[in-house]
Amino acid sequence: MESLHTFDTGNEGRLVFWNAEHFEVLLFVFTAVALAIFGYGVYRRWQLWKAMGSPEIRVNEVGKRIKNLIVDGFFQVKTFSDPYAGIMHALIFFGFFVLIFGAAFDATEFHIAEPLGVAFLRGWVYILFSFTMDLFGFLVLAGVLMALYRRYVIKPDRLGFRGKMDNRPDDLWALLFILCIIVTGFVIEALRIHVTLQDWQSYPETFLSPPVWEVWSFVGWNVAKLFATLDFNTAKLWHQIMWWTHTFISLGFIAYIPYSKMLHIITTPANFFFQDLNPKGTIEPIKDFENAESFGVGKLEEFSWKQIFDADACTRCGRCQDGCPAYLSGKHLSPKQLIQDLKTYWLEEAPKALKKSCCSEGGDCASASTETGEEKTLIGGAINLHALWDCTNCMYCMEHCSAAIEHVPKIIQMRQYKVLMEADFAPELQLTCRNIENNSNPWGVGAHLRAEWAKEVGVKTLAEDANVEYAFYVGCAGSFDDRGKKVSAALAKILQAAGVSFGILGTEESCCGDSAMRAGNEYLYQTLAQANVEALKAYGVKKVICTCPHGYNAFKKDYPHFGGDFEVYHHSEIIAKLLAEGKIKLTVPVEGTYTFHDSCFLGRYNDVYEQPRSVLKAVPGMKLVEMERSFNKSFCCGAGGARMWMEEEGTRINVMRAEQAIATGASGVAVGCPFCLTMLFDGLKDKEMEGQIASMDIAEIVVKSMGLE
């Protein structure tokens, strides 16, 4: 059989129907120009990336980084948490990837292999190749149309801000570029098929003869029918015109990438490679308080290079905004807007830094003259000060960001600057910090009363008996808040019934410091953390149980910075373990339908989702239902990030969460956090539902089912 390559080149751009005397030279020149423009754009961006930001090493554990690059940077696993957007993006990205690979493969054969007497695209290989290229071209086309429909017809809030779409010319240009590349490619293929098949009858009748094999190029085959009345010469002319049009658009797109949002095809995978590999939610402490001249971040250059690079990796997809409690309750904060404001500020300041650097290195100092006018500040200028304090540190933004952007650490560092350098923070937060300083608890209750709750249930302190398996870190809420003390007593009864040996620090215990740290008062936090670590180590403690997820997270993720290497358990984990081992039995029915509220610091920060649910499912008579926002998409109660101690403007976050619980029709809300317990109780009270819907900690429910009340 005569080679199929006689009839079809496989590259819709191989000008088999016309000859250009200087075709190879022209194509080489145009390609070189496009690549030069692309290269300069990347180089210029690289200069801006390195112009500002302090050094930070992000090349340790290369194996993990490569895995992140492949899983989330290339295969984009995170994007599929939203099916529509995930499928849309996958169609465009993977389709375009295959097309680029296919075009490169075909060009290699035409320009290199064939002149050397080697050819691959023949017979079945060519048919499979052509079908694959048409299929993935069609998928890219479908993805682009989905993107256009979503951005300009559906208009989801995440793509805008407060009901106003954040559409920029660049968004449309990027999609139109891709659309034109695909459409012109199919038109070229169709014209080639039309011209070739005008003489197909002269070829032998076999399965691999025209027109049968052209059907495998299914898009081009069907589009070719539109040119049925076009004569041979006109079709050849239009083939030439469309080929060069397609070539210029494709090369233009390559040149356009570094100057557009399409740069994210470089920056986003790179950001996954450089993402923080510390345990999720870890906050790096300020080091060397004695010698540091500044604390936190008050200027752009005080961020690390990676934190600034974050901003350039942002694609404005709005996933962070979708579940942000501050944004959804009408506050000033939008995580997406915060990162974009940071990016805008960086793009304003980085060229100035480059000019100054050029001058200091002997460059043209005239062009690096000092800018006139008032300089914009980072906090209160580029970044909205109210937005900075609206954050609950719930970490929804970081958990769902498809570009590995680290929002929360930036917010905490800017808070540190305001608190430690300017003493500029809310009066109620100042009172909270004073109470913690004076009495080691946010309420300011006398520290000598910290262990009073334990007397009724016979819990010993470690000073009385240090020969125990666990230290029960009670925390401030469990020691001083009336409702929190009931939870502490409930857990103590469970542990006693199960024969678990444990003790408490009592008056030697300090506040865990989470609220102080997340409010920006790092000095106070470190004082508290070091005191707790020293106290526990003095008794040889190895294992710690916490009822508060904030203390649990601090002990587990942050205290290791101060030598606190303990095995840390949330009480829901311990109860689930005791149930699984048969050390406690749940026999008394707790009738009703309950819904479980996932605390941010238990769920998103520490991935504890199944243990509390397994406990509730073991309670006889109880039916468990889920709120619409649950698991890693759970809605914050509003107390995190030191917001527990601050006044809230506008719609209250805890009321919104209470409404979500009410919507399930549940008769009770189960929680595993004292802050959440308080916030949900208040939210239900606001909705006048506190008498109809109970709010209980898991430990309280278990004690009730064990008949120990």
CA 362 to chain centre: 42
Q: What's the token pair of residue 224?
A: 């070719």
Phi, psi of 705 (to 5 degrees): -75, -25
CA terminus-to-terminus distance, the chain: 88
How many angstroms separate the CA atoms of 533 and 385, rounded? 34
**SS3 at position 34:** helix
Beta bridge partners of 545: 472, 569
Give one DSSP letter per residue of 51-94, joined into a string: HSSB-----SSHHHHHHHIIIIIIS-GGGGGSHHHHHHHHHHHH
Cis peptide before 589 (omega within 30 of 0): no
Phi, psi of 541 (to 5 degrees): -65, 135
DSSP 8-state assignment for residue 417? I
Q: Please report which helix (H) or strand (E) contains residue 319, including its range.
A: helix 319-322
Q: Are 311 and 406 in contact (CB under 8 A)?
A: no
From the CA atom positions of the chain, what is the Rg in Å? 32
DSSP 8-state assignment for residue 444? -
Confidence (pLDDT) at 195: 85
**SS3 at position 429:** helix
Fold type of domain 437-579: Rossmann fold (3.40.50)
How many angstroms separate the CA atoms of 300 and 297, rounded? 7
Q: What's the token pair of residue 219?
A: 């898009």
Sheet strand arrangement including 502-503: 502-503, 470-473, 543-546, 567-570
What are the C-alpha distances in Å from 447 to residues 201, 266, 436, 475, 516?
Answer: 98, 54, 10, 12, 17
Closest alpha carbon to 586 in 462, 699, 461: 699
How many angstroms separate the CA atoms of 627 and 591, rounded? 19
DSSP 8-state assignment for residue 376? P
Per-residue pLDDT tens digits for 597-655: 999 999 999 999 999 999 999 999 999 999 999 999 999 999 999 999 999 999 999 99
Burial 568-591 (b: 16+ CB within 10 A, else e): bbbbbbbbbbbbeeeebebeeebe
Q: What's the token pair of residue 7?
A: 């009839």
167 exposure class (CB count in 10 Å sphere: 0-12, 13-18, 19+): middle
Residue with tokens 């409702």: 483
pTM: 0.92
Count CA atoms within 13 Å of residue 451 on its CB side.
Answer: 19
266: number of Cβ within 10 Å: 15
Q: What's the token pair of residue 285?
A: 């402490």
Q: What's the token pair of residue 693?
A: 């819907």
Beta bridge partners of 622: 592
DSSP 8-state assignment for residue 6? G
Confidence (pLDDT) at 12: 41
Please list the residue range(s) of the chain that carry CATH number 3.40.50.1860. Answer: 437-579
- Give a three-class secondary structure readout of 101-133: HHHHHHHHHHHHHHHHCCCCCCHHHHHHHHHHH
**SS3 at position 586:** coil
Confidence (pLDDT) at 214: 81
Which phi-psi region, left, alpha or beta, contains residue 440 (left: φ > 0; alpha: ψ -120 to 50)? Answer: left
Is CATH 3.40.720 the right assignment for the domain spanning 300-421?
Answer: no
**SS3 at position 419:** helix
Please list the residue range(s) of the chain that carry CATH number 1.10.1060. Answer: 300-421
Q: Are 442 and 481 in contact (CB under 8 A)?
A: no
Confidence (pLDDT) at 641: 97
Q: What's the token pair of residue 601?
A: 């610091």
- Give a three-class secondary structure readout of 618-634: CCCCEEEECCCCCHHHC
Q: Where are the alpha helices (DSSP H) in 201-314?
A: 218-224, 232-256, 264-273, 305-313
Closest alpha carbon to 446 in 472, 476, 489: 476
How many angstroms separate the CA atoms of 136 and 124, rounded? 18
595 exposure class (CB count in 10 Å sphere: 0-12, 13-18, 19+): buried
CATH architecture assignment, domain 582-706: 3-Layer(aba) Sandwich (3.40)
Confidence (pLDDT) at 133: 95
Q: Are 90 and 306 in contact (CB under 8 A)?
A: no
How many angstroms separate the CA atoms of 353 and 50, rounded? 10
Long-range contacts of 354-358 (CB under 8 A, 24+ apart): 354/47, 354/48, 354/51, 357/51
Strands 160-161 and 164-165: antiparallel
Closest alpha carbon to 297 in 399, 134, 412: 412
Residue with tokens 């801000």: 161
Confidence (pLDDT) at 199: 60
Which of the residues in the chain have pLDDT under 50?
A: 1-18, 20, 207, 368-370, 372
Closest alpha carbon to 326 in 242, 407, 221, 443: 407
DSSP 8-state assignment for residue 204? -
In the chain, the amino acid numbered 596 is: F
How many angstroms separate the CA atoms of 103 and 121, rounded? 12
Q: Are 79 and 90 in contact (CB under 8 A)?
A: yes
**SS3 at position 266:** helix
Confidence (pLDDT) at 333: 97
